Amino acid sequence: MPPVVLEVRNLKTHFFTRWGVVKAVDGVSFSLSEGETLGLVGESGSGKSVTCLSILRLVPKPAGRIVGGQILFGGHDLLALSEKEMRKYRGRQISMILQDPLSTLNPVFTIGAQVREPLRIHHLVEPDSLKQRVLELLRLVRIPAAESRLENYPHQFSGGMRQRVVGAIAIACQPKLLIADEPTTSLDVTIQAQYLRLLKEIQRQSNLALLFVTHDFGIVAKMCDRVAVMYAGRIVEEAAVRELFTAPAHPYTQGLLQSLPKLDQRVARLPSIEGAPPLLSNLPPGCPFAPRCPKVMPLCREQYPPTTPLTASHQVACWVHAKEGHATSHAPG
């Protein structure tokens, strides 16, 4: 088995607002190995992006706080590090690609200066070699005529090229973990396919661990080895990709997959999940999916279900599958 790069244990990130405590991430646990891709999927507001920001300790302050859990990276708990120590990990060991390259890139600095910055901060390349390394990175992400584009600004690049530049910045220091938070949102279908192939190629070359956040199950099938489904700040199901598609266990996962169009079927209207996600500042008792669940039982409204293993690579938090003696852990109350 490849070594584990990242292990998140019972992570809790809450936002303290005038309307109450928003439990954006409320007991999330998962692990990620070298060379592996883990997909994180779920509706908007399920806690995917906040989970990623928590790993880098970039949760917006003062409202946002990591209130519990552990984030183990290379055997070190990132939550126990000082801010100065944490800066040595950001960009160097762990990098992140955000979903909007136009807001990620600084409009007043050239592309060359922005790709050069992480190399300069972490002192990984001699000053005389910086330009050559920047050119190598831009060529690696398929920027045409890279040398002539160094002095260009972000507004002079197309959306697809800006996203590639963001990717070049993320891999500049050869990190062990790359977090991609819906990096294809602003790309058209053709450029999206090219970008995904590029990410897979970079992963094969450097054997990095990839945490890929998306709401597109087509991308999950193409990119990921395992997938974790999030709902209301918790992971409700985790499985190998093939198992999740062939035998989804949680009613929420089943609803998500049933809502996808199928080429061999013609229907007047696609199935949908009734209702809306709960307010994270006022979660219902028991399972938060219970008000929308077609298989709801009285117990579902009273107590959060334990995490039940179905196979060696498949587990689910649902009372339908919970069996006495098979529960591995309980979600927080």
Query: What local confidence, expressed as pLDDT, does residue 311 receive?
Result: 92
Residue 106's identity, in one-letter code, is: N
Q: Give the closest residue to 134 by CA, choosing from 173, 100, 105.
A: 173
List pLDDT tens digits, range 84-111: 999 999 989 999 998 777 788 999 999 9
Query: What local confidence, expressed as pLDDT, does residue 323 receive?
Result: 57
Compute the average pLDDT of residues 189-202: 85
Q: CB-based contacts of 169: which residues, under 8 Å, 6+ apart?
A: 95, 114, 115, 117, 118
Contact 147, 180 (CB under 8 A): no
User: Over pLDDT 70: what percentage of the chain?
Assistant: 96
Query: What local confidence, expressed as pLDDT, does residue 67 receive?
Result: 95
- How far apart, in whole angstroms, are the C-alpha atoms of residue 182 and residue 214? 5
Compute the average pLDDT of residues 272-292: 89
The encoded tokens of residue 320 equal 């339908």
Residue 283: pLDDT over 60:
yes
Contact 69, 37 (CB under 8 A): no
Residue 263: pLDDT over 50:
yes
Q: How many CB atoms lie within 10 A of CB 273?
A: 18
Residue 330: pLDDT over 70:
no
Domains with residue ranges and CATH for the chain: 1-84+216-261+270-333 (3.40.50.300)
Backbone angles phi, psi at 237, to 5 degrees: -155, 140
Query: What local confidence, expressed as pLDDT, does residue 324 receive?
Result: 45
Residue 27: pLDDT over 70:
yes
Contact 156, 184 (CB under 8 A): no
Average of per-residue pLDDT values in the chain: 89
Question: Of how many residues is the chain composed?
Answer: 333
